[in-house]
Structure 1
Amino acid sequence: MLHNAAQTYQSNQVTTANPGELTLMLYNGAIKFIKQAKGAIGEKDIVKAHESCLKVQNILYELISTLNKSYPISREMEKMYDYMLQRMIEANMRKDSSILSEVEDYFVQFRDTWKEAMQLAKKQG
């Protein structure tokens, strides 16, 4: 019962969010799944680590696919996301927590910057 309520709430969040909020949700999701992957590696749960890494990779594919490439910053973000994707693949193959920490740091920086940009945009109307 609780699981269904949580799924409904999460589904409503996604369907009512604007593009900026969705990007923030993707960043937060990636951070969550990286933490899960690191925990699974520590517990020697290779299957869970793999699944969590794949979720982060899928988030990166989504972030890449939604970039508006008519802006120069988007082309730079695409390069960064590509790099992070390659590092995630490497981390998944090696089950390397240090690589996961590197990618997590990028996601934290992006999330914090994105959150700040959203707040500034809101203030400016």
Structure 2
Amino acid sequence: MSQDIGRTYVTNAVRSATPGQLIIMLYDGLIRFATDSRDLLREGKPAADSINRCIRILTELNVCLRFEVAPEFCDRLSKLYEFYTVELSRAMHQHQPEIITNILPMIENLRDAWQTAEQQVGGKKDEGETPEGQ
């Protein structure tokens, strides 16, 4: 029952979120699963599921990029997402949690930048106006 309440809450939060808030939610999930992956690797446990969730989130973030609005910005973000994907895969295959430790601050900084941008924009909902075209 409490799982149903949690799912309903998340569903409602996603449905009522601005595009910028959705991006922030994706980053929050990415940070959570990357942290879980790092911790699992430290404990010598399989981290494939958590890392695959990270990679799916990165793929979604990449799909959200609007190259027609801000091509250079989107190109840079796309390359960062690719870098994070490679590093997460490398951490899993080499069983090196420190690789994730190294990229987590970068991901957190991006998340914080989106949070700042969202606050400055004031959260326009579905008007096609997201910070820097994402």
User: TM-score, normalising length from structure 1?
Assistant: 0.90
Once the two structures are overlaid, the 10-residue window that deviates more, 50-59 or 95-104, is: 95-104
Q: Using the alignment, how far apart are the partners of 1:2 and 1:94 within structure 2?
A: 38
Q: Using the alignment, how far apart are the partners of 1:32 and 1:96 within structure 2?
A: 18
Q: Is the 8 A contact 2:33 2:50 kept in 1?
A: yes
Superposed CA deviations along residues 16-65 of structure 1, whole A, max 9, x for unmatched, are 2111001000111000001111221222221xx11100100001111111
Identity of aligned residues (%): 26
**What corresponds to 1:96 in structure 2?**
96
Q: Using the alignment, how far apart are the partners of 1:99 and 1:33 within structure 2?
A: 14
Shift of 1:103: 2.2
User: TM-score, normalising length from structure 2?
Assistant: 0.84
Q: Secondary structure in 1 aligned to 2:67?
A: coil
Q: Give the aligned residue type for 1:56.
A: C
**What corresponds to 1:20 in structure 2?**
20
Which one has a larger percent helix, Structure 1 or Structure 2? 1
**What corresponds to 1:76 in structure 2?**
76
Q: Using the alignment, how far apart are the partners of 2:101 and 2:110 within structure 1?
A: 14
Shift of 1:80: 1.1
Q: Using the alignment, how far apart are the partners of 1:2 and 1:96 within structure 2?
A: 36
Which segments of structure 1 move beyond 3 Å, counting only runs of 4 or more? none
* Unaligned stretches of 5+ residues in structure 2: 124-134
Shift of 1:4: 1.3
**What corresponds to 1:10 in structure 2?**
10
* RMSD, matched Cα: 1.4
Is 2:53 the counterpart of 1:55? Answer: yes
Tell me which of the two structures has the higher relative contact order, counting C-alpha pairs closer than 8 angstroms and 6 or more residues apart: 2
Shift of 1:106: 1.5
Q: Give the aligned residue type for 1:18.
A: T
Q: Give the aligned residue type for 1:50.
A: A
* Unaligned stretches of 5+ residues in structure 1: none
Q: Secondary structure in 1 aligned to 2:122?
A: helix
